[in-house]
């Protein structure tokens, strides 16, 4: 059984390695975990003994298959709780992480089974991030920024890049959130501004920066 701390490390390693694609170095992990590099060295040794990571000193750490499954399990629980907090308890986006970071460590398969059912088996969390299934399978849909899609595209908002308060407030104001249907109606060649229609109702112009940071689903 992994401790809360070990689970948090695994999750960080998973994310920093981009799902296991590249090794993670000690300082990056120390920064992510807000601990001293020395503490990271210690913890990596522990995780290595538990076969959760592959590790050769000075070479960085790679998550193992076993570790990846565990990490995805925690990520699943994290995201399911987020859905609950937003859908049922009306949490704001910026209040989510602090609580989900705690709730994700609750040990009870039954709880998550029932919670998942209660929420209608959601596939994406409130940020548009996909929820892994019980086996750690991620059905990652491609997400493309508006800026990279052709005029005429009509699709669903599945995520945003970054999460600055001012950007989220802007989205709120113009009426865009996860699940909103957008259509790209025009693109200004001179600066990349885009006209979009929101939910088939009103049409607004968004800046190139905004177009870069709103992600639409491929289908």
Partner DNA sequence: ATTATTATTTCGATTAATCTAAATATTTTA
Partner DNA sequence: TAAAATATTTAGATTAATCGAAATAATAAT
**Helix (H, G, I), strand (E, B), or coil: what is residue 99?**
helix
Looking at 15, 20, 32, 41, which residue binds DNA (CB under 7 A)? 41
CA distance 217 to 141: 7
CA distance 170 to 22: 35
Whose CA is closest to 124, among 80, 69, 177?
80
**193 φ, ψ (degrees, to nearest 5):** -60, 150
Q: Which does 60 bind (CB under 5 to 8 A by kind): a second copy, DNA, Mn ion, none?
A: DNA
Site for DNA in 3-22 (CB under 7 A): 3-6
CA distance 22 to 27: 15
Which tokens in the block code for residue 175? 């009426």
Between 51 and 90, how does the x/- string for binding to a second copy read (CB under 8 A)?
----------------------------------x--xxx
CA distance 45 to 128: 34
Looking at 19, 22, 27, 114, which residue binds DNA (CB under 7 A)? 27
Q: Which does 118 bind (CB under 5 to 8 A by kind): DNA, Mn ion, a second copy, none?
A: a second copy
Sorted by sequence, the CB contacts under 8 Å of residue 185 that are 6+ apart come out as 151, 152, 195, 196, 197, 203
Q: Which does 101 bind (CB under 5 to 8 A by kind): a second copy, DNA, Mn ion, none?
A: Mn ion
Under the binding rule (CB under 8 A), the answer on residue 185 touching a second copy is no
**In this structure, are residues 109 and 80 in contact, taking their beta carbons and an 8 Å threshold?**
no
Q: Which does 103 bind (CB under 5 to 8 A by kind): Mn ion, DNA, a second copy, none?
A: a second copy
Taking the least distance from each CB to a second copy, the nearer of 56 and 102 is: 102
Under the binding rule (CB under 7 A), the answer on residue 48 touching DNA is no
CA distance 210 to 205: 10
Q: How far is the CB of 76 from Mn ion (least distance, A)?
A: 13
Q: Which does 98 bind (CB under 5 to 8 A by kind): Mn ion, DNA, a second copy, none?
A: a second copy
CA distance 180 to 202: 12
Between 87 and 116, how does the x/- string for binding to a second copy read (CB under 8 A)?
-xxxx---x--xx--xx--xxx-xx--xx-
Residue whose tokens read 């960085």: 60
Q: Which does 114 bind (CB under 5 to 8 A by kind): DNA, Mn ion, a second copy, none?
A: a second copy
Under the binding rule (CB under 7 A), the answer on residue 102 touching DNA is no
Q: How far is the CB of 32 from Mn ion (least distance, A)?
A: 12
């Amino acid at each position: 059984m992994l401790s809360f701390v070990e689970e948090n490390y695994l999750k960080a390693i998973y994310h920093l390695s981009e799902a296991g694609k590249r090794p993670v170095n000690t300082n990056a992990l120390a920064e992510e975990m807000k601990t001293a590099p020395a503490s990271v060295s210690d913890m990596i040794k522990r995780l290595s003994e538990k076969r959760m990571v592959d590790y050769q000193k000075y070479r960085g750490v790679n998550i193992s298959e076993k570790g990846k499954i565990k990490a995805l399990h925690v990520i699943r629980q994290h995201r399911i709780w987020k859905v609950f907090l937003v859908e049922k308890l009306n949490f704001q986006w910026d209040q989510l992480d602090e609580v989900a970071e705690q709730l994700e460590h609750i040990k009870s398969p039954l709880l998550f089974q029932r919670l998942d059912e209660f929420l209608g088996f959601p596939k994406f969390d409130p940020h548009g991030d996909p929820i892994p299934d019980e086996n750690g399978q991620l059905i990652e849909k491609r997400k493309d920024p508006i800026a990279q899609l052709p005029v005429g595209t009509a699709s669903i908002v599945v995520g945003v890049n970054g999460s600055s308060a001012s950007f989220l407030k802007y989205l709120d104001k113009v009426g865009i959130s996860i699940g909103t249907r957008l259509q790209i109606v025009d693109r200004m060649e001179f600066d990349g501004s885009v006209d979009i229609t929101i939910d088939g109702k009103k049409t607004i112009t968004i800046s190139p920066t905004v177009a870069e940071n709103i992600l639409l689903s491929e289908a």
